[in-house]
Structure formats: structure tokens, C-alpha cells
Amino acid sequence: MKYLGIDWGLKRIGLAVSEGKLATPFLNLEISGLKDGVEKVVNLIKKENVELIILGKPEGKMGKIVDKTYQAFLKKKINIKLADETLSTHDAKKIMLEMGFGKNTRKNDNACAAALILQRYLDEK
């Protein structure tokens, strides 16, 4: 089964993939809003033959935006599950710092955060 992990943001979303037990950062996508982001991801999952999306859900205001995103994917008949993304961006930055990535590279931590979200899902499964 091919999985796509998503770290959803207002302007950028991070994507990670897995076809087994290990999640890998894949891509950072710039988006102009919810509709644009959903469209871009739907096109990508068709192209990449993704079978299940794991969408990270934070708490608070952003969590409500992710709920709307989740509903938008469901309306398009996309196989999707929500997963807790608590501290995923924080952990991604920490890992990138430990690996010696520069400040500019660490700004694009969304794909790494998506990989952590997806990896946690795979580990729990």
C-alpha cells in the first residue's frame, strides 16, 4: 500500500510517502488556500497511485482548518485518515538541526514534519 503523509499549512504543505514501514520526506507544496491545496494533492495522489492519506491534525485554530481540509478530501472520495501531529514541526526542526542542515533548509521543514506524522501512524499500525 502506498501512503501519503501531509503536514497542512496555510501557505505550504509538507508531503511524505511510504510504501512499507518507513516514511520519507517527499515534497513541499506552495498553496494559495484550501481549494488550491486539495486540488494539488488530489492530482498528486492520482499521479503517484497513493492509496491512503494520513493528514496531521493539530490542536486549536489550525485544527479547525485541517477539519475543513479533511472534509474537502472526503467530498472528493479520497481515502484519508486524521492523525495527531503534536510537536511534529518542532521535532522535525530538532532532527534537521541535529543532522546539520542549515537555517535556510530548516525553513522547509514541512516535508520532514509530514514524514514524522506518517511514521507515527505506521508505527502504531
Model confidence over 28-59: pLDDT tens digits?
A: 999 999 999 999 999 999 999 999 999 999 88
Strand 3-7: give its sheet, edge to edge: 24-30, 12-18, 3-7, 52-57, 80-84
CA pair distance 93, 70, nearest whole angstrom? 25
pTM: 0.86
Q: Mean pLDDT, to the nearest integer, of 59-68? A: 91
Domain residue limits, the chain: 3-124
CATH of the domain spanning 3-124: 3.30.420.140
How does pLDDT run across 85-124, given as a tens digit for each residue? 866 665 656 665 666 655 555 456 788 889 989 999 999 8
